[in-house]
Amino acid sequence: MARWGMVFDLRRCIGCNACAVACKQENSLPDGVFFTKTLSEEVGEYPDVTRSYVPTICNHCEDAPCERACPTGATYTRPDGIVMVDRDKCIGCGTCIVACPYDQRTRLEPEMLDKGLFGDGRLTPFEEQGIGRFTVGTVVKCTFCHERVDAGQLPACVATCPTEARIFGDLDDPTSRPRQLILERRGRQPLPEKNTNPRVFYID
Amino acid sequence: MIASNRIADGSFRVGVGLQKAWGVQMATAFFFGEAGAGLYFVAQFFDFVLGMTVGLLMVLFGKAGGHVLHLGQPLRGWRALTKVRTSWVSRGLAAIVLFIVAGALHIIDVRAGLLPAGVSQLVAALALAACFVIMIYQGFAMSHSSAITLWSSGLMPVASLTYALLNGVLLTLVFGFGEPFLADRPDTVRLLQVLAVALMLYGLVTVLSLLHGARHASEAGRQSVALLLQGGFARWFVPLVIGAGFVVSALMMLAAPPDFAWMLAVAGLELTGYYAFRVLVFKAGGYDPALSLAYRFRH
Amino acid sequence: METLTQPVQNSMKPGKWLNSSCKMCIHSCITRVHVTEDGVVNKIEGNPTSPSNNGRLCPKGNAAILRHYDPARFRTPLRRTNPEKGPGVDPKWVPIGWDEALDLVGRELKKTLDEDPRKLLPAINDFQKLFLWAWPAALGNANYLSSVGNFCGGGYHPMNGFIHSAFAAANDVNYCNYWINNGGGDGFSSHLHTAAQANHVAKARVERNMRVVVVEPRLSIGAAKANEWVPIRPATDRQFALGLAHVLVAEKLYDVKFLKKDTNAPYLVGPDGYFVRNGEGKIYVWDAIDNCARLWDDPEIKDFALEGTYTVEGKPCRPAFQKFKDILADCSPEQMEALTTVPAATTRRIAREFAKAAQIGSYIEIDGRMLPLRPAAYNYYRGAQGHKYSAMANQAFKLVNFLVGAIDTPGGHVGVTLDDQMQDIRGGCGQIQAGENGMMQTMPHQLHPEVPFSWPPNETHLMGFFPIGVDPGHLTQHTLANAEKFGLDYRPDTLLMCHSNPLWNLPGDREQWYALLREMRFIVAIDILPNESNEWADVILPSHDLLESWNMTMIEPPHHEGMCLRQPATPPLYDTKSEEEIFYEISERLGVLETWNGILNFVNGFHQQPDLLLEPNRKYSDREIAERKGKLWNGKDLDWYVEHGHAVTPRRPDKWYRPWDGLRLHFYIEDIVRARDTLRQKMEVADVPFRREWEWGDYQPLPTAVPDPVHLEPADFDLYAITFKDIQINFGESIGNPWINDIVFKDPVHTAVLLNPKTARERKLDEGDIVRIESPYGAIVARLALSEGVHPDAVCVSNALSRVATQNTGVRHGGGNFNQLLPANLRHTDACSGQPETVAKVKLTKLASVPADVAAGNSVFGRTSGKGRAH
Ligand code: SF4
Ligand code: SF4
Ligand code: SF4
């Protein structure tokens, strides 16, 4: 069984957020909800200044505090390491949201779904075909595109990333691209001090 | 400045993100939890039925009710009982259920003496134990996860317990004022007053240590503390939590004549400070940026 | 009811995938579109079989679905009922039927044509159906009310035509190791096929360690990713390039062999600026060994002199190279620093690094051909060249590449054709042809043939006065305001727009544009969504969107070629038509069907293959035109394209690298001098009254360091305002799309105007302040954000803040359009290329609060989140 993980190449990423939009398309996310987003940070002082672009996503933590904190068992980890939320069990208490050190979870509020993407309270056919997967009041987050991955495809954000800054694969397989990149370019996990053992690594 | 404002505020900047999941509703529930349980706890020592009843009702309606209001899917709230193995929220809920049942039984028992002695003691002990869990678990629920530095301190449960006891003592002084167990025993009143002042001092030290620890623990901690002490929340936090909640109420308690109005005033001030603590500590809770070059650059 | 087994991810749901291509910007990344069993488009991805975009899409391409389903779309033809026209004024459109609409348009246009066909102002901007641009020619009309120079490059395209005989240019990512980007986002945020180019450039950067140096006033995405950001004062890029050239020449870091053999650098230039010719018109060079003049093709020549002063045929003369060297004498990095603020030491170091990386003298064998390998190239685009002396700026950048021999070589700076029309013939405008005296024929007209000079002028934008330029649409404001001076013997009263938003893209005073539009007797717009310009229309003709129509194109892909199919993913959602059908219907009503088919045959290249010719009196569908274009490219019919999606392959090396082998390139552009003198003569003959005021100094065969007039504005305008687009919004009108809004208005560089903190402190300004940004020509309002990534002299205005309130309430507006800070007059227009100045000198004034009219609605600077739309 694979253990899925992702590597973000900070040298490649241009902060375009095609990833964020691809995810919204693939997952019919409501307005303002992101499963992944790429942030920017200005570093230094003129003229010695640069800006870094930092993609963020649910890290599908090996030791997921969201799962531990969840009082209902709605958050669970699949055998392949993907951390999921069972919307039929989630009560929307938000405990997982404040337990996730990476701010990767969102509770679906009624207005998010009712307003529609165009904010006029009407849903387009695109939204209508997609909205059924969401239950108001429950918590959502990135699923590593579990269905695409199950079908042998790459997550939507990975597939679209123009610079190939997102590298997805099996972290248990020493020959996989992510494993090799982590090794070669000394991948580091986000906020290791939080003891979550993320399955997402950054290389720069 | 794009570079220097470290609160990301929903924008796509690397920075500290403030948590928005737990707000006033949750703070209110927490408030009633630690006020109600505290009151019950102290009241049970004195078999003070009114205190116990009020405490129990606060937990039932204020705490449990507040939580239900907060839930996204309240109808399946019962599911929260299923993960006591790892989840403090789950444990807390179990304690609430147990407390309500045992506490109610105990109150009835104290009034009507229904239960056989052994069972009666067991129920009393269970109620007290569950009550104790309620007084402390909220702190654990917050500190257990490392996500939010301001909350993740080991002092959080201590603060919970301290506040709960303090609330209990003060509410007992208020609700019990004129009741025989106090009216007839000025030394008990004195004792409770001294205890209150001690708890206030202890609470102050705990809260300040908590902030001190958070400030040095991470960037988010630093920003949270800055928000509370200098930033947007300081105009509430400093006068209410520190001033009214600890300093002024402690001084008043020291000077307090045995007078209902004084007790009420002190309790009011302290509870206001405590409520502000609950709300503001939620609001100021922030996540660390997953990866920040600038922060590392500067520190 | 949802069953447990039904997938929740859109691309996994039952349905079908269709091959298509994107049109969220002008380029055409190759896509696949997923349509559910119920016929709903629910996912668009890059097509992994595309060697160009490699299965990738930028955010705009990822957001196409929401344009398709945008509730603000025009659903039927519409007719205005509100006689009052104005910005943001509700036209009170009422739906009408197609017959009525087309008859109405036909009748009104007929009236215009009967009076004077010149009274029509067309603004046709669909870049993926470029043939539509030629429609006004069917009416004998060459007017054009839109700005090309303002959003890409007025000087850029003609210069690519001069140098490469191509429409665009790119650095060759396949081999380049040292990549200078100046004022363009190629490979990062904008310019050619952003998703594709970002893909290839990222690979080169990370896998080959290609060094990137970005020269720009603002820390753009490219600058952020670069190995080095060189901040530069706006509107001084040319001087920076000349500083580099100075070092390359002074330190002899140039490719002598290339200059001597492959360019006209050795050709002798006389005092009049023309090459010195013999009686038969043959050009002289100087033989440095035999020390005598020889004709350029004399087999006896031992060595071409690049330097020196000689006398030939009685005329003092110098090799073109020497002429440039003379100019460079005054362009030392130290002298240029005073203008550019780039430290001289930096310029010197970059010049040396660049020359070293260029590996002058090295070769590489590709497809059995030995080619010079020059893995260093200087690329530039809109901002760097968007100045008054644009032709000079463009040429200065090209000359840096010339000096190291990096023109059209592997790793160098390479010409990019617009839309190759056949596999065997490099058809259309991009063709390489031999010119006179061994030189390549220059092809400055990459968009349409030269518009003949006329007096009184036939075109309100004076196109006939720009024999080597791109349409300066903005000049219409200037000429109509001074109609007498410019000899206009008519006033346009009709406007036809097609996927065009001139009120957004044109520089100049808004009130004057509004006045011009108010003068229009009739305005018709072919479009998809309401915008600043089409809300003035009397009739709206709604067109299909990219998911409902057929097309076949490949727009200036940097490293690839071949047709990409666009096909309908769903039947039209509303009562819309294809552009082809609309123009055919109008043509028929105007009686120009035959002419239009003739033009279509020519501009699409169908004349090259008789079986593809359109019959004179038939109307063709978008599908039929697309099919022909596909066949012309590779002989395959539409079914083949439907199955394969595209015919895209890497550019053939023989067409891509030195397709002009054996000809000489134009180091020195004599054609510019000739164009000047021909025009001058025509003006003399016609006795054009303003001929002495004409900016004759703009026509230079070699660039000089003379500062652009923007630097001469009154001193109290002490800062330079620039505008920029990033990948979420470049080359398109994507603001208003909820997904694009959702990412753009969270990005700190797009939600406020950027200023350097030190500059702000000096002016007692701070983060969050509301300011009025005022140029000598207009003013806008903005909120400030302080950023270290800004040159101290620059005020950087994201184009996302340049929309104004319209009928489309999903489009968030800023505090006015940046373009209204810019002049639309001759003084700030390059007479040589038609390029308007795109930098404005400004001053900032702090305001107490956001003005009420700006804060109203969904302004980015308003209080509300601006999420909701009013319907
Ligand atoms: S799509 Fe790729 S390059 Fe763009 S922001 Fe996301 S990770 Fe970065
Ligand atoms: S990143 Fe957050 S939501 Fe994702 S597994 Fe880790 S803790 Fe859970
Ligand atoms: S893996 Fe899929 S669900 Fe997760 S962020 Fe990427 S696109 Fe979204």
User: Does one domain contain both C634 and C688?
Assistant: no
Task: Extract the tokens encoding B148.
Answer: 């939010």
CATH code (residue C42): 2.20.25.90
Q: Atom 8, ligand 2: which residue's CA is nearest?
A: A66
Same domain assignment for residues C521 and C607: yes
Q: Is residue C871 part of a domain?
A: no
Whole-angstrom distance, CA of residue C380 vs CA of residue C168: 11
| CA nearest to C428, candidates C551, C648, C604 | C604
Ligand 3 centroid–CA A20 distance in Å is 8
**In whole angstroms, what is the distance from residue C159 CA to residue C391 CA?**
7
Is residue C153 a part of any domain in this protein?
no
Instruction: Give me the pLDDT at residue C154, please.
Output: 87
The tally of domains found in chain C comes to 4
Tell me the C-alpha distance between A129 and C42, whole Å: 8
CA C843/CA B53 separation, integer angstroms: 70
Give exposure, B155-168, as e/b (b: 16+ Cβ within 10 Å). Answer: bbbbbbbbbbbbbb
At C869 the pLDDT is 43
Q: A58 and chain C: CB distance < 8 Å anywhere?
A: no
Q: The domain that contains C112 carries what CATH number?
A: 3.40.50.740
- What's A198's domain CATH number? 3.30.70.20
**Of C153, C177, C178, whose CA–CA distance to C166 is shortest?**
C153
Q: Note the residue count of chain B.
A: 299
Residue A51 has pLDDT above 60, yes or no: yes
Cβ distance B270 to B166 under 8 Å?
A: yes
How many domains does the structure of chain A reveal?
1
Q: Other CB atoms closer than 10 Å to residue C830's CB: what's the count? A: 32
- Which residues form the domain of C838? 709-855
Rounded distance between C-alpha atoms, residue C650 and residue C329, angstroms: 42
Are residues B5 and C751, on separate chains, in Cβ contact within 8 Å? no
Give the CA dihedral A57, A61, A65, A68, nearest 10 degrees. 120
Q: Which residues, in sequence order, are CB contacts of C567 under 8 Å at separation 6+?
A: C18, C19, C20, C550, C642
**What's the pLDDT tens digit per position in C616-629?**
999 999 999 999 99
User: Closest residue (by CA) to atom 2 of ligand 1?
Assistant: A161
- pLDDT for res B295: 64
Ligand 2 atom showing the smallest separation from residue A105 Cα:
3
pLDDT for C153 equals: 81
- In chain C, what's the furthest Cα-to-Cα distance? 94
Is residue C470 within 8 A of residue C498, CB to CB? The reply is: no
| Separation of alpha carbons C145 and C379, rounded Å | 29
Examine the domain organization and report whether C225 and C289 are in the same domain: yes
At residue C1, the pLDDT reads 39
Phi, psi of A56 (to 5 degrees): -130, 150
Residue with tokens 């009741």: B179
Q: Any CB–CB contact under 8 A between B25 and chain A? A: no
| Of residues A67, A101, A202, nearest to B291 (C-beta) | A202
- Would you give the distance in Å from CA A54 to the centre of its chain? 13
Distance CA C587, CA C594 (A): 9
Which residues does chain C have with pLDDT short of 70?
A: 1-4, 149, 419-430, 863-871
CB contact under 8 A, C746 and B10: yes
- What angle, 0 to 180 degrees and rounded to 10, lies between the N-to-C axes of helices B219-229 and B186-217? 130
The preferred substitution site among A11, A13, A142 for testing ligand 1, maximizing ligand atoms within 8 Å of CB, is: A13
Q: C672 phi and psi, to 5 degrees? A: -70, -40
Mapped onto helix, strand or coil, the DSSP state of residue B74 is helix
Residues C129, C232: one domain?
no
Question: B2–C747: do the CB atoms touch at under 8 Å?
Answer: no
> Are C716 and C823 within one domain?
yes
Distance from CA of B9 to the nearest CA of C (A): 9
Facing A160 at nearest CB: one of C46, C196, C747: C46
CA dihedral A56, A61, A66, A70 (to 10 degrees): 140
Q: Which residue of A49, A108, A190 is in closest CB contact with B291?
A: A190
Q: Residue C175 to residues A11, C213, C365, C486: CA-CA distances in angstroms?
A: 19, 16, 12, 50
Nearest in space to C333 (alpha carbons), one of C255, C407, C259, C236: C236
- Residue C460 phi, psi (nearest 5): -65, -25
Q: Do C688 and C457 contact (CB within 8 A), yes or no?
A: no
User: Which candidate, B74, B229, C393, places its Cα nearest to that of A137?
Assistant: B74
Residues C240 and C124 in one domain: no
Point out the ligand nearest to the CA of residue A28: 3
Among C312, C317, C308, CA closest to C272: C317
Provide the token pair at C371: 């080619």
Tokens representing residue C70 in the block: 């945008």
C-alpha separations of A127 from A144, C44, C69, C597, C871 in Å: 21, 15, 9, 42, 18
> Residue A37: CB within 6 Å of ligand 1?
no
3-state secondary structure of C501: coil
For atom 8 of ligand 1, which residue has the closest CA? A13
C655 occurs within a structural domain: no
**DSSP notation for B253-287:** HHH--S-HHHHHHHHHHHHHHHHHHHHHHHHT-EE
Q: According to the model, what pLDDT value does residue C605 have?
A: 87
Q: How much distance in Å is there from the Cα of C237 to the middle of ligand 3?
A: 41
Residue B248 per-residue DSSP state: I
Give the model confidence (pLDDT) of B53-97 as tens digits: 999 999 999 999 999 999 999 999 999 999 999 999 999 999 999
Residue ID of nearest Cα to ligand 3 atom 8 = A23
Domain that holds residue A152: 4-203
A149 within ligand 3 shell (Cβ under 6 A): no
Instruction: Give the mean model confidence (pLDDT) for residues B36-53.
Output: 96
Angstrom CA distances, C328 to C239, C270, C322, stand at: 10, 18, 10
- Position with higher pLDDT, B114 vs C797: C797
Domain chopping of chain B, boundaries: 19-292
| C182: CB partners within 8 A, 6+ apart | C214, C215, C216, C237, C240, C241, C378, C379, C380, C384, C397
In a domain, C85, yes or no: yes
C119 in a structural domain:
yes
Separation CA C257–CA C303 (nearest Å): 10
Nearest to C120 by CA among C148, C139, C100, C146: C139
- CA triple B55-B61-B66, angle to 5 deg: 120
Q: What percent of chain A has pLDDT over 90?
A: 99
Question: Rounded CA gap, C831 and C820, in Å?
Answer: 21
Cβ C778 vs Cβ C823: under 8 Å? no
The whole-number average pLDDT for the span B274-284 is: 98
Interface test with B, best of A103, A106, A109, A136 (most B CBs within 10 A): A103
Determine the pLDDT at residue C866: 39
**ipTM of this predicted structure:** 0.98
Architecture of domain B19-292: Up-down Bundle (1.20)
Q: Is the CB of A143 under 6 A from ligand 2?
A: no
Give yes or no for residue A10 having a pLDDT over 60: yes
Nearest chain B residue to A93 by CA distance is B71
Distance from the C749 Cα atom to the nearest Cα atom in chain A, whole angstroms = 10
Show residues of chain C in contact with B13, CB under 8 Å: 748
- The pLDDT of residue C24: 95
Residue B273 φ/ψ, nearest 5 degrees: -60, -40
Looking at the CA of A5, name the nearest ligand: 3
C843 with C718: CB under 8 angstroms?
Answer: yes
Q: Supply the mean pLDDT for chain A.
A: 96
The helix (H) or strand (E) run that includes residue C162 is: helix C156-163
How far is the C-alpha of C244 from the C-alpha of C836, rounded, in Å? 25
pLDDT higher than 60, residue B170: yes
The CA-atom distances, in angstroms, between C132 and each of C124, C156, C579 are: 7, 22, 8
